[in-house]
Structure 1
């Protein structure tokens, strides 16, 4: 045991000795005992030849000796990304007046500017480089600062370097031929920015275009054109911001692209094939998230960046991460700005509600300083989800009387209140509120009024009420936002009385809307409830739904379609195809219980299920513990478990 410990002790003693010698060397340099400091550093290097600090201190202790430039390069070779050795080497050459030393010093400054430095240090080095123009005439001076300007830096540093560049050019500092196109591009960009601020968009666009033609890799020219596009032709802004982002990270391109994505999501894009391709096909949301994550690394306390990042993550389904962004934005809020604080609280409350953390959401919505429809409805919905129906009704009632700005809002609130009343009172009370919602809307019912009335009629088998609502809904039958709901409700109203008529009604809607994923999926489900003669139709409908599944806005919808397609193929006798679809769905949507159920159903129908008994039992346990499962599906899983437990 002692044999193993002794080397460790020796190593620890050696490290402690090195630290002591380093402290002593620093003290000797401060006391200007350079000879003693050199001996200390040499003692350290005998024990550790690659000791970075010892090499740096040795270089300092050598002062103006010709050996000093030899110590610093050895330290740089050990750790090229550390500034101490570079700084020591620069200090050595700064004291020398010959031209050769000045050229070497310029090269050292160039290397220093490539390191990760604090802003003050960068400004100091840029100033020193600019001052060298008075002592040596070389195009490399402009080249060093030009490379800094072309990199993405913080705004104060970029502006300072740009000003120094302009100053050097106006003082007739020599230029390298290779730098001339880059300088032209930068000056075109500066001129374009001036035109942009003066709202001379045509001239600004022309100058930005000139800059792009001269140096296509310079992102500022593309960002400038994107800013012009936001004013004149918004649809082109996305391409320009995205292209600028691909050239390299820049704060403006990141923020501009993410802002464009958020505004497009707010306006809605699913009905426009071109926009759907831009957002979904080009993966705009995850790309914007990536850019804003990068942005947040530089400006972590920017409330607008945190909010945009939270919105994008919420859209992408990353709710916990989105909550973190909104909470960070809330911490950055100006406490004197009540509007800003209210908006931040609403964002946090909305995500808490989606995460089913109802108690926290209730407290948060109550703390919003400026009452609004959003805060009142958020509070009411949180109370309803918590099961506090009377309190939820009271919250909606308060919003109805104090916060509504128009009749449409009042009508929609009455629909929500009718839903709550139906939960804990009688259907007649709900019906009264629904008809009141129509009266509030000046007897011009919206589709939402009619959907609610139709649903109430279906739930209470009130055929006259259902038919009345469906007849009024026919005028919205060609509206892309409502045709599926109308087709489904109309078919469902016929399903219990005459299944064939229900299928026929759904077929008529499919004839008008053949690309509707949801209608094909609905047809597949309806056909599965029919006799065996409709099994083939169910399989075909499920396949057609999958072909059009690019319209799906959530993984849950697509998972259900794959599960239904698997079951339909199985019932049609295509067992291999059924198993493949279940496996495909499981790989894509492992968190959806319907896919697991479809896979279990397919495997249970094969002869090998006895050999897979334990695996199937483990799946049943996994479904119960980790996935959200409906009561009906839970009973089915229980029956499967009992069946498997009886198998020997």
Structure 2
């Protein structure tokens, strides 16, 4: 395309752009550029066309235009500035500034705006301005403008200021400061102040800050700089303030109004207070400043100086170390007061020797030499009179020297004089001097410390408290003052203040120095029963000093008091690992085991302790208490022999204590000994005695054996001695209880003992009327039959219940009172309330059982007494249950009732009641009643304990006077002798019966028979028959059967038949007569008699009670007439009719064994039938299994199996022997098998 055509096309493009026909313009430009790819104007117009539609394409075209521009590309760059990305703008504007210098202000603004809008290109803009600054050093106006923009970017983006650029930076800030309308004006002021401070131009910094406060009165920054410069360059600041019209207080107050927590404002206030010698107030403010600015050196230095002036060297030392002044004179002064370490003191001396000598340094060095004990060095030093008096002279000489010194009214002299007078216990002079010294330096913590000590030693607790509080307020690290003040708080009972004091002290102490305060805090928590806090404090103290035994012991005590007994034991065991001879740890382990009722282990520990320290009083006391506690446990378990043994051992230890001490004014000793006496006296009669030293009992014998009465008398004396030492409700209560027990055991003297018990109980109530046990005991005393003041007893029980509504003991006693008054409903309600309060309190259930007896609810009474057996032993419940069980067992009708049957068979009432009555008689011993012994005898017979039954009946007979009851006992004993086949003793018993009854006479006759005295027996039976009336034909029949049996043995068959015919002819002849007649016929082969009798027995054949007997006689009849197969068939038919009858199966097994042992097909069957009889018997709940009968059945089974299975037969024989070792047949069978 020619040049002319190109120009025409470009003209058309311009016209299209003017007409906003951008698409047409773009197409023409692109067409032109295809022919002329380096056409500058085409690219320029193409970029212009794209400006409104596509900035990216526009930028591409304009870049080409800049590239192919034949001259300076001003227009292209101006266009590119409108569409280029931000990161390209700085270079574009830099080129435009050079190309269009007359518009430098416009492009500088554009360049600043570009940098301000994008942090990523701000650095580049900043560097462009710096280059422009160098290029325009001669053009002042342009330079100032560049400097202003440069500083604005500097301020806006907080660029670092290199040391080389500080002058440039300062000039730029000054340009901004000159124009107050710039947005960054306030920020520039802040940066300017910071720069001046950095350049240590404190005067200009302070002056400019004051000016800024005028321009920006509500902005805090300038006020802070005013205060900061004042704090760090006080002299400069004061000089500047003289040129202004506002004092420093104006700036401080304004700063604190804007920000009440402004640390610099508070610091200036502290400085002013310090300058006015108000050190305490200054320190308070400085601590606030430290909280706000923990590492501000100026504040820390001033705080350290303040603490040193107050005398708190322990707080000043870490402050000096924190700010790096650990090589300063101040640091050495602090060390000289605090340290006793030889190395540190030597280092302090070396440090001070490098310093110029003055009075303070000399005193500090002297203090170090004094602590090191280097008197020679002290004498070499040039010491003042005061220093000589402190470090070299005796107190008396020092006082004389100081009193004659020229500066005797100075603080140092007065303070030292007071300390010297205090050493000589001249409290008045010490107080006078210390008060004068305190007036001179009221901020000195040491003055108040010594004032407190003087007042404390002179028993002026009020003033001592105030002085120590002031001292601790000034110097919280003064451990002596803290200890004394803590002791005062504890003495006054102000535990909360004591806790606050100790906690406040710990805030200031280093952890390694705080162990004693932690320990003291632990003791405080221990005293106020805060066990967890006490444990934590003791553990902290132990961490700081693991070898201190006191800390470990206190920790163990805290665990023990909290109830963490295992942890306490482990702590004390740890102590013993560190120190095996620690007696306290051994004692505490034993005591803790006593507390948790590990009495046997505790006793072992006490014995070990006392073996090495036989006269150790706490050990003797602990051992006695452990034995006494174990005795109480054993008594509850009714192990009276062992209980008595431990009571004697407890008495032995208490006796050793009494005899080894000259001073017996120990309450616990008298009380514990009296308790041992009472517990022993309440033992069963055979054990109610103690062996005691005659000296202790005030008897002539070396060792006295004290009876029950002696024990009660001595217990009363000991309780009286304990009351004299420490009267309180508990000891009066125990004394009253002792007197009450005495009344129970000695009824003849009951009135006098109960009177004493009443008086003692009233004294207990006077001491503590709010203790329900006291009222309850007084009620029990008045309920006793010797006093029988029932209204008063009722009042006492109600008082007890008003104090403790859930006192099941008082409810039960109230129920007994109502029961005594025959108020059944009220008694029931009282016992019910007792049961609700404690469902396991047996006495309440006994009360309900007695109510059931009273209203005739026999089944309920039995159940209630049985329930009582689940609780601990009680004589009333054991006797009551045995009575009701015996009553049921002797009543055939009741035994058939399901309720009673269940109680006997399923709940083993007879066994449980026997166990209960055994306990009863064991406890009561000689006081056991004949009824209890009778119950024991009856229940033992039921369990086939014949020897025990015999002994029980014999004791009952011996304890009973002649009369009806004694006759019953003799009859029972006689029948027992008959059961165990001792007829001679039976005859003796029956002959001793004074009022003969039918049962006694029959028993006597039976005894004669058993003793083969048939004539006497016949005579007795005959006399009974004559005395019987027609109404007693059943008894006559039984007597005739017995006579027949006796006659058969002595006179033969004929007379026996006569008597049996006579019996059978009776109207209500017993079935036993038929059995006897049938057996007689079988034995003597009298078939007619046998057949006749069996015909009579047919009507009883299907009655289960008689079926086995009838089946046996019938089978034996068939066997006698050689019809064994028919007998077997008959027995099998009866087994089918009564398959559950064990006795019938046993008869069948015996029959098979006797008559069919030759038939091998019956051997297994015979064995199985015998075994099934045992199983059926065990299943039958109405009958008890009998080991003797089971042994016989096993022997039958064994004999049946012997021909076919000897091993099984042998096992059955062995089983039979185990069940009944006296079974002679089983032993013979065992021999035969072997």
TM over 0.5: yes
Q: Deviations over 1:190-216 (max 9, x none)?
A: 44564xx46x6x776666545433432
Q: Matched residues in 2 for 1:329 and 1:419: separation?
A: 34
The corresponding residue for 1:585 is 1216
Aligned pairs for 1:212-611 (under 5 A) are 212-227=835-850, 229=852, 232-268=856-892, 275=900, 278-296=903-921, 297-298=923-924, 300-335=927-962, 337=963, 339-403=964-1028, 406-439=1032-1065, 441-442=1066-1067, 444-496=1068-1120, 497-529=1122-1154, 530=1156, 531-550=1159-1178, 551-552=1183-1184, 554-573=1186-1205, 575-602=1206-1233, 604=1234
Q: Deviations over 1:130-159 (max 9, x none)?
A: 21255223433x226758999xx9x95999
Q: Matched residues in 2 for 1:148 and 1:577: separation?
A: 73
1:68 and 2:68 aligned: no
Q: Tell me by how many angstroms 1:426 deviates.
A: 3.0
Q: Residue 110 and residue 369 in structure 1: after superposition, are their counterparts in 2 closer, same or farther (change >3 A)?
A: closer
Q: Matched residues in 2 for 1:147 and 1:259: separation?
A: 30
What is the TM-score normalised by the length of structure 1?
0.71
1:53 and 2:651 aligned: no
Q: Deviations over 1:94-142 (max 9, x none)?
A: 336xxx74145257559969999963698477425521255223433x2
Q: Residue 363 and residue 380 in structure 1: after superposition, are their counterparts in 2 closer, same or farther (change >3 A)?
A: same
Q: Matched residues in 2 for 1:73 and 1:193: separation?
A: 35
Q: Tell me by how many angstroms 1:544 deviates.
A: 0.6
Q: Residue 119 and residue 395 in structure 1: after superposition, are their counterparts in 2 closer, same or farther (change >3 A)?
A: closer
Q: Deviations over 1:46-83 (max 9, x none)?
A: xxx96543544678x857xxx33365478689999567
Any conservation in 1 of the 2:1177–2:1184 contact (CA below 8 Å)?
yes
Any conservation in 2 of the 1:517–1:552 contact (CA below 8 Å)?
no
Say which structure, 1 or 2, has more relative contact order (CA 8 Å, 6+ apart): 1
The corresponding residue for 1:618 is none
Any conservation in 1 of the 2:776–2:796 contact (CA below 8 Å)?
no
Q: Matched residues in 2 for 1:173 and 1:432: separation?
A: 79
Q: Residue 316 and residue 401 in structure 1: after superposition, are their counterparts in 2 closer, same or farther (change >3 A)?
A: same
Q: Tell me by how many angstroms 1:283 deviates.
A: 3.3
Q: Tell me by how many angstroms 1:389 deviates.
A: 2.0
Q: Bigger CA drift: 122-131 or 502-511?
A: 122-131
Which secondary structure state, in structure 2, belongs to the residue aligned with residue 590 of structure 1?
Answer: coil
Q: Matched residues in 2 for 1:595 and 1:408: separation?
A: 40
Q: Matched residues in 2 for 1:156 and 1:569: separation?
A: 71
2:767 to 96, 117, 136: 136
Q: Matched residues in 1 for 2:846 and 2:1055: separation?
A: 58
Aligned pairs for 1:73-222 (under 5 A) are 87=716, 90-95=719-724, 101-103=727-729, 105-106=731-732, 109=735, 119=745, 123=754, 126-140=757-771, 142-143=772-773, 146=776, 156=784, 166-170=794-798, 172=799, 176-177=803-804, 179-188=806-815, 190-191=817-818, 194=821, 197=822, 208-222=831-845
Any conservation in 2 of the 1:138–1:175 contact (CA below 8 Å)?
no
Q: Matched residues in 2 for 1:508 and 1:148: separation?
A: 76
Q: Tell me by how many angstroms 1:359 deviates.
A: 2.5
Highest Rg: 1 or 2? 2
Q: Residue 131 and residue 290 in structure 1: after superposition, are their counterparts in 2 closer, same or farther (change >3 A)?
A: same
Q: Matched residues in 2 for 1:148 and 1:290: separation?
A: 35
Q: Matched residues in 2 for 1:265 and 1:599: separation?
A: 39
Any conservation in 2 of the 1:527–1:538 contact (CA below 8 Å)?
yes
Q: Deviations over 1:558-615 (max 9, x none)?
A: 2212222333344452x4443333333333322332433343344x1xxxxxxxxxxx
Aligned residues: 534
Any conservation in 1 of the 2:1041–2:1060 contact (CA below 8 Å)?
yes
Q: Tell me by how many angstroms 1:310 deviates.
A: 1.4
Q: Deviations over 1:154-182 (max 9, x none)?
A: x9599979987634345x46855474455
Q: Matched residues in 1 for 2:1168 and 2:1083: separation?
A: 30
Q: Tell me by how many angstroms 1:91 deviates.
A: 1.8
Q: Matched residues in 1 for 2:1166 and 2:666: separation?
A: 85
Any conservation in 1 of the 2:1077–2:1093 contact (CA below 8 Å)?
yes
Question: Mind listing any 5+ residue stretches in structure 1 that lack a counterpart?
Answer: 1-48, 605-648
Q: Tell me by how many angstroms 1:411 deviates.
A: 1.5
Any conservation in 2 of the 1:192–1:208 contact (CA below 8 Å)?
no
Q: Tell me by how many angstroms 1:406 deviates.
A: 0.9
Any conservation in 1 of the 2:740–2:757 contact (CA below 8 Å)?
no
